[in-house]
Amino acid sequence: MIDMSSLVAQSAPLRFPTRRLRFRASSVLRSVLSAIIALWGVLTLVFFAILLTGNPATLLASPSPTKAQPTALTAQFGFDQSLGEQYVRFLGNIVTGNYPDSFRLSANPIDQLLAALPYTLALAAASLLIAVVLGLAVGYGAVFAGNRALRSTPITILAAFQATPVFVIGLLLILLFSVRLGWLPTGGARTPQSIILPAVALSLVMAPRIAQVFRASLLQLVDAEHVRAATAKQISLRTVRLRHVAANSLVPVVSVIGLELGGLLGGSVLTESLFNWPGIGAATIAAIDSKDYPVIIAAVVVIAAIFIIVNALVDLFTVRIDPRAELNL
């Protein structure tokens, strides 16, 4: 009879010094609470960043303001009042979506960014899908492929992409598939094929990490006792590898996806700018170029909110796919 407790210990997931250790121990409520605290921290940083720039009313008023506009803004945000008062008003305005209008488009910046949101989400989803498929395939191959060259070459090539900025990868893809071969558009979002190049470029930022983590996690499990027991029971090699090794190695992959989300967001700004993909990143860059401060501030809030919410979801998901994650801490 095999000692069950040793089996559990053997297959315990890899421990990362992640930012989510704290979250993972918690329930849904704590996850949400942490997200709110983080958002509040971001808003506070924005508040002080605006204060540092001098007079916020002139910053937020359009470049050629009417006399009344800075005064109206001062009233709205209470810039003439005490710091504490300003802070409370600022938070209130941000939370209720009460922003000054965008200089360029004379529209509420939040509406403008929410209109761009589907594009960013589509790009993120497509590239995440490619990255996960590619990363898992290469990581799996790096451990189980038939010969040595097949085990080491793909993961080494993928690792080289880690040192390559996404805009260089994107340029290479454009050069090859748009300029030389003429198969795909160089940018924009007019045809459904337009998403292919940006998604592939962005996926190559995350795929190497996934492959490396999956490989390391597989290697930790190939010799685990429950795997040897399964092999000894003459379960087919494929089943042992997929169900007993690979399936149990997925938890660190989910963790690393969570950790890399920030990189994905940053990468998507660069990618959107390179491929003229009309998402939040491109809108933000356009706002930065034209010093459209209301939009810049709204972008901070929207991007932080997306990032923090998705991160909280990843935490919950981690506990869901591996209940041990909650027990461990």
Partner 1 sequence: MSTITAAPGSGVSIVAPRVRATGAVVGAVLLGVIVVVSIAAPVLAPYDPEAFTLTAILQAPSPAHPFGTDEIGRDILSRVIWGGRPVLVTTIAATLLSLVIGLIMGTLASTGRIADTIVTRIADIQLSIPGLVFAMLAIALTGAHLGNIVLVLALSAWPLHFRVVRAHAAGVRGLPFTEASTLAGSSAWYRITRNYLPGVLPLLSVTTGITATVVALSATGLSYLGLGVVLPDWGRMIAISKGHLSDAPWASGFPSLALVLFLLSVQLVAAAVSGRARVSLKRSNGV
Return the residue matching tokens 């803004």.
73
Q: Judge contact between 297 and 42, C-beta under 8 A.
A: no
Q: How many residues bind partner 1 (CB under 8 A)?
A: 62
φ, ψ of residue 240 to 5 degrees: the values are: -60, -45
Interface pick for partner 1 out of 47, 90, 103, 293 (rule CB under 8 A): 293
CB of 2 to partner 1, least distance (A): 26
162 touches partner 1 by CB under 8 A:
yes
CA distances from 309 to 23, 29, 95, 315 (A): 13, 13, 15, 10
For partner 1, the binding residues in 45-104 under the rule CB under 8 A are 45, 49-50, 52-53
Q: Which residues contact 251 (CB under 8 A, 6 or more apart)?
A: 13, 14, 217, 318, 321, 322, 325
| Cβ distance to partner 1 smaller for residue 231 or 276 | 276
Q: Two tokens at 266?
A: 């940053």
Interface pick for partner 1 out of 288, 305, 316, 326 (rule CB under 8 A): 288
* Cα–Cα distance, 246 to 126 (Å, whole number): 23
Interface pick for partner 1 out of 26, 203, 248, 284 (rule CB under 8 A): 284
Q: Which residues contact 87 (CB under 8 A, 6 or more apart)?
A: 44, 47
285 touches partner 1 by CB under 8 A:
yes
Q: Which secondary-structure segment (H or E) carries 19?
A: none
CB of 249 to partner 1, least distance (A): 12
Site string for partner 1, 168-207 (x = CB under 8 A): x--x--xx---x------x---------------------
146 burial level (CB within 10 Å; 0-12, 13-18, 19+): exposed
φ, ψ of residue 280 to 5 degrees: the values are: -65, -40
Interface pick for partner 1 out of 7, 22, 129, 237 (rule CB under 8 A): 22
CB of 199 to partner 1, least distance (A): 19
CA distances from 285 to 135, 280, 290, 296, 327 (A): 30, 9, 9, 9, 43
Interface pick for partner 1 out of 262, 317, 324, 327 (rule CB under 8 A): 262
The contact set with partner 1 (CB under 8 A) reads: 14-19, 22, 34, 37-38, 41-42, 45, 49-50, 52-53, 159-160, 162-168, 171, 174-175, 179, 186, 212-213, 216-217, 252, 261-263, 265-267, 269-270, 273-274, 284-285, 287-289, 291, 293, 296-297, 299-300, 303-304, 307-308, 311
